[in-house]
Structure 1
Amino acid sequence: MKTLGHWLASPWRRSAAAAVAGALPVLAFPAPSLWWWAYVALVPWLLLLRTAPTAKRAAYDGWCGGFGFMLAMHHWLLPSLHVFTFVIAALLGALWAPWGRLVRHLLGGTPSLSRVAVALVVLPSGWLAAELVRSWQGLGGPWGMLGSSQWQVAPALRLASVGGVWLLSFLLVALNVAVAVLVAVRGARVPAVAGLVATAAATSAAWIYAPRPVVDGQVRIAVVQPGVIGGPDSGERRFDREEQLTRRLAGQGVDLIVWGESSVGFDLGDRPDLARRLADLSRATGADILVNVDARRSDKPGIYKSSVLVGPDGLTGQRYDKMRLVPFGEYIPARSLLGWATSVGKAAGEDRRRGSQPVVMDVGDGLRAGPMVCFETAFPDMTRHLTREGVDVLIGQSATSTFQQSWAPGQHASLAALRAAETGRPMVHATLTGVSAVHGPDGERVGSRLGTDASATQVYEIPLAHGTTPYVRYGDWTVHAALLILVGWAAGEGVRTLRLRRSAPEPPAPPVRTAHGSPARPGR
């Protein structure tokens, strides 16, 4: 009977196993939402990496696992980007190649207690380094960060208020490393258990000592979700449906009404009739309306996606233009080189234009709202900046109708819980076609969600909170600490290697030969 090691001796089988192992963490995210699975999801991948026959093979296994993770996390892009989805997954997966070598170096063979102890902090730091690089907007942004899988776990959300989603990712990787050591390295169980205890202690300390948002008010915000509307004249018919739904909110005492991304497909400067209809809705409901315009601007060249606030007197002049665009969906990076993506999928035929700065909007009687558009809610630095600017409520306007029957809407909606917990500010996630949701200042769900099958309105009683969370105050300190750990470890390894070379015994000198070719005798 063939052993597993013999089966993995084939490079192709080993690569396939690495890709499958790397894909396993996706089960912790929506739609499966098996949040507990994240605590052990990396263990098969870690066990494979530590048994790699060479460092080069470990790097390749890291790459294959990263490819599997990226492909599984973004598999819903396949109908839009087709083969290019595999290209993106392969490029981003390469970020885990150094991590693969790091796992083998620290956990391969029979690691000492000290190496295991080092691995418990260095390997999570290496994982964060990969997440940091891929979080750059041009590489796709921080969608699917490992820590985001804990969006519905109250203790984890409390930790997010201390160190953001980065701290959750760090602790999850440390937990997986400890479990892998317990499974595979019998002689090093003491540091593994210590790692588990330290993770539990950090969670408990954050639960007890982390400052909690002080709830000192309430606001009523309504979300309007028209549902899927396609076919000819879909823009006009969607506006009609949104108008019909909004009129139902008259007399309900709402403070703000939020429409989803691309809810208005025409520039309101070119369509004063639509602007008047929105003003009429604002007067009828007694609330300002935050719409999202996806159209070519009448006052400047190019297409913008913009959050526009409309009051009873018409356009208020408060507008936010989306700053961070979706690669390939809203623009093509290096279009001259990668423009061929439009021929194999639904990549952007024309690049959208970017806004220049975040905007805090004054709504009604003193409410300050910070709008973001779709993809931007994945970036924790954006919500942190808006919180520092004094917002009372965070608002994300989104549209995932292209991926309606996939895991994407649920994954996107879950990000609101993380952003709310990180900042101590409630967040409204309003979409065209679902999932729409609201989370309070602790990250807890407020009210019921509007699923992808709903065409409706929902009014939410949202608690308002003030105060500053440690994450807002200190920022991405977890990332900075991880980078310092990696630099310190690399410096230590360099010094150790240098000392070993200096202490190595000199090789014996070759014997001196005489002119006749025989070795010279001592003393002659």
Structure 2
Amino acid sequence: MAQPVRYGALLAGALPVLAFPAPNLEFLGWIGLVPGLLLMRGAPSRREAAVRAWWFGTGYLLVAMYWLLPNLGPAVPLIAIALGFLWTAVGVSAWSLLRPPVSWRRALAALAVVPSAWLLTEWIRSWQALGGPWAVLGATQWQHPAILALAAAGGVWLVTIALVVANTGIVIALVARGLPRLIGLAAALAAAVAGPAIFALTPPPAAARHVTVALVQPGILNGPAQRVSADVQLTEGPARRADLIVWGESSVGYDLAASPRLVGRLERLSSAVGAQLLVSQDALNAAGNKSKVAVLIGPAGVQGSYVKTRLVPFGEYVPFRSALGWLSGISKAAAQNMVPGTGAHVLHATLRSGQPLTIGVLICFESAFPDMSRVDTDHGAQLIIYQTADSTFQGSWELAQHASLSALRAAETGRPVVQAALTGDSVAFDARGRLLASAGPSRRGAIVVSLALPPASARTLYDRLGDYVPWTAIGILVLAALLALARGRPDRLARIRPHRPARIAWNGSREPDRTARPAGASSEGPAADAQPGGNAAAHPRDGS
């Protein structure tokens, strides 16, 4: 029976992924883990629970990253299997705390330990070398600003915790009776209302001012010259009334340092429309190296730039290339590693009114990393801008999933966030994560949106405290592990049968005294019967 149940765990892992875009069945974020947790809980042993959780994690990642198959081919299932191992901690915790009988103490422990174990899997794989924080469960709630209030308090990590607490509470309610069942139901309800309660109790700061931003989306075009021409045409048309005009990632396929004529053309364009341009360079430089660079251009030339720091694994570089470089030969993995930048930093734009505006500019995949937008906010950014292309993944869930991340970053930082996509999806969110405007991949044009800017000094709780939620989860898991070891040690000692050490008496010669009796043995035993008077020295085998 083990193998069919493991297949069931694989399918159960796919279920919560349907809560992400594009299916957007976000209610599954609240209940979609229940089948998997029940399978882990019902395992006959801790080891089998860990194996079922491994299958669950593999299924989760396979479906979440299916859109990478055309580019990475056989590497996708290998990555899913390797990272799926992280879910074994979820399986062990679910089996240890949710198998019968579920007491009220174990119910409370499960509500703390199981969500912490899940969050640990997300935080570990958020390391860039392991792929980055894609398909973090909390991102499923991107359409609900009231729930995203949890992100303002503790980042996307706190949204994930609320979802897993709800799922764990439902499992407890299904398998327990009496007080533990009430605890499970209360926990699920508390997790569901926590976000709306925070949303109601924390009104946003009053807007310091408003700014109009244009997001230029020219669509799929072949060749760098055609892309520049299309962007210029849209900038001269519907985008020209904006205070700042943003082009998508890879909109300029030339090295601007070696293209003074193109820079001059963009300077004249900026002067003609009365607004600065934020373009994106994607080209080899004179040294033969390649980077993605956001470039701010005004009538007086280049006003600042930012080099993409977090590169897309396999798409822009191959992690551990010395060991995994062979993937470039059997897939579309990067043949050459791009050169990353040195970290997030802000740019200083000048609006058509002459007012300064500090902006945090990040590129493509960097929208998945909460820490980068936090750094820009700490440096005074009042607006977060993402440039992306997404042309590789047309027709897949990736476009909508990528766009949804901007809602999380907006809620976390308390800043409006926009994403300008070369081929869609382009989006704009206010400082609480509410969708203001969007353009799907079928649209060609420019979105012009007015954004309310918070004071530069405004900070959310997550801005101030950072990643305290993952660290708290790690602390809970360490404490749980220590308590489990402490409780297990007496049990192991109790199973060891006590014994007395062997005692060998010596008769003064080099031979052992074969008549020596174990301590406490009766002198009336068979040896005494065999030797009347009990004189063992008279036995003929002693040779005396």
Q: Which stretch shifts more, 464-473 or 508-517?
A: 508-517
CA distance in 2, matches of 1:220, 1:479: 36
Partner of 2:198: 206
Residue 310 of structure 2 is aligned to residue 297 of structure 1: no
The change in CA–CA distance for 1:82 and 1:517 in structure 2 (over 3 A counts) is: farther
Of residues 82, 94, 112 in structure 2, which corresponds to 1:91? Answer: 82
Residue 58 (structure 1) shift: 1.1
- Maintained 8 Å contact 2:345/2:379: no
Residue 501 (structure 1) shift: 4.7
The change in CA–CA distance for 1:229 and 1:121 in structure 2 (over 3 A counts) is: same
SS of equivalent to 2:133: coil
Partner of 2:431: 441
Partner of 1:463: 452
Q: Deviations over 1:360-397 (max 9, x none)?
A: 11111211111000000100010111101000100000
Partner of 1:227: 219
CA distance in 2, matches of 1:320, 1:184: 53
Q: Which amino acid aligns with 1:273?
A: R
The change in CA–CA distance for 1:114 and 1:344 in structure 2 (over 3 A counts) is: same
- Maintained 8 Å contact 1:78/1:85: yes
Map 1:302-321; keep pairs closer than 5 Å.
302-316=289-303, 318-321=304-307
Of residues 287, 311, 317 in structure 2, which corresponds to 1:331? Answer: 317
Of residues 136, 161, 172 in structure 2, which corresponds to 1:170? Answer: 161
SS of equivalent to 1:52: coil
Q: Which stretch shifts more, 206-215 or 283-292?
A: 206-215
- Maintained 8 Å contact 1:249/1:285: no
- Maintained 8 Å contact 2:148/2:195: no
Map 1:361-372; keep pairs closer than 5 Å.
361-364=347-350, 365-372=355-362
Partner of 1:4: none
Q: Deviations over 1:61-87 (max 9, x none)?
A: 111111111111110001111111111
CA distance in 2, matches of 1:353, 1:37: 39
CA distance in 2, matches of 1:519, 1:483: 54
Residue 60 of structure 2 is aligned to residue 61 of structure 1: no
Residue 400 of structure 2 is aligned to residue 410 of structure 1: yes
Q: Deviations over 1:76-132 (max 9, x none)?
A: 001111111111111111111122112111112322221111000111011111111
Q: TM-score, normalised by structure 2?
A: 0.89
Q: Deviations over 1:221-272 (max 9, x none)?
A: 0011010113xxx1111111111111104752x1100001111111112222
Map 1:3-402; keep pairs closer than 5 Å.
9=1, 11-187=2-178, 188-200=180-192, 202-210=194-202, 212-230=204-222, 234-249=223-238, 252=241, 254-298=242-286, 302-316=289-303, 318-364=304-350, 365-402=355-392
SS of equivalent to 1:215: coil
The change in CA–CA distance for 1:522 and 1:367 in structure 2 (over 3 A counts) is: same
Partner of 2:509: none
CA distance in 2, matches of 1:330, 1:263: 17
- Maintained 8 Å contact 1:319/1:359: no
SS of equivalent to 2:366: helix
SS of equivalent to 1:443: coil
Q: Which stretch shifts more, 498-507 or 350-359?
A: 498-507
Residue 487 of structure 2 is aligned to residue 496 of structure 1: yes
Of residues 403, 407, 422 in structure 1, which corresponds to 2:412? Answer: 422
Q: Which amino acid aligns with 2:128?
A: Q
Q: Which amino acid aligns with 2:335?
A: G
Residue 496 (structure 1) shift: 2.2
Q: Deviations over 1:461-495 (max 9, x none)?
A: 11111311100011111111111111122222222
Q: Which amino acid aligns with 2:388?
A: S
CA distance in 1, matches of 2:103, 2:503: 44
Residue 522 (structure 1) shift: 4.5
- Maintained 8 Å contact 1:303/1:353: yes
- Maintained 8 Å contact 2:216/2:239: no
Residue 512 (structure 1) shift: 9.8
Q: Deviations over 1:140-178 (max 9, x none)?
A: 101110000011112211111001100000110010001
Q: Deviations over 1:254-295 (max 9, x none)?
A: 110000111111111222222122112111111100001011
Greater Cα radius of gyration, structure 1 or 2: 2
CA distance in 1, matches of 2:471, 2:165: 17
State the Cα RMSD in Å. Answer: 2.2
The change in CA–CA distance for 1:297 and 1:287 in structure 2 (over 3 A counts) is: same
Q: TM-score, normalised by structure 1?
A: 0.92
Percentage of matched positions with identical amino acids: 42
Partner of 2:531: none
Task: Could you tell me which runs of 5 or more consecutive residues in structure 2 were left unpaired when the two chains were aligned.
Answer: 505-512, 524-544
- Maintained 8 Å contact 2:149/2:196: no
Q: Which stretch shifts more, 492-501 or 241-250?
A: 492-501
Q: Which amino acid aligns with 2:410?
A: A
The change in CA–CA distance for 1:131 and 1:413 in structure 2 (over 3 A counts) is: same
CA distance in 1, matches of 2:365, 2:290: 17
Q: Which stretch shifts more, 137-146 or 333-342?
A: 333-342
SS of equivalent to 2:256: coil
SS of equivalent to 1:319: strand
CA distance in 1, matches of 2:212, 2:253: 27
CA distance in 1, matches of 2:77, 2:146: 36
Q: Which stretch shifts more, 352-361 or 433-442?
A: 352-361
Residue 200 (structure 1) shift: 4.3
Q: Deviations over 1:186-212 (max 9, x none)?
A: 353022123124324533542233352
CA distance in 1, matches of 2:396, 2:193: 37
SS of equivalent to 1:449: strand
Residue 44 (structure 1) shift: 0.4
SS of equivalent to 1:491: helix
CA distance in 2, matches of 1:94, 1:213: 43
Q: Which amino acid aligns with 1:256?
A: L
- Maintained 8 Å contact 2:166/2:192: no
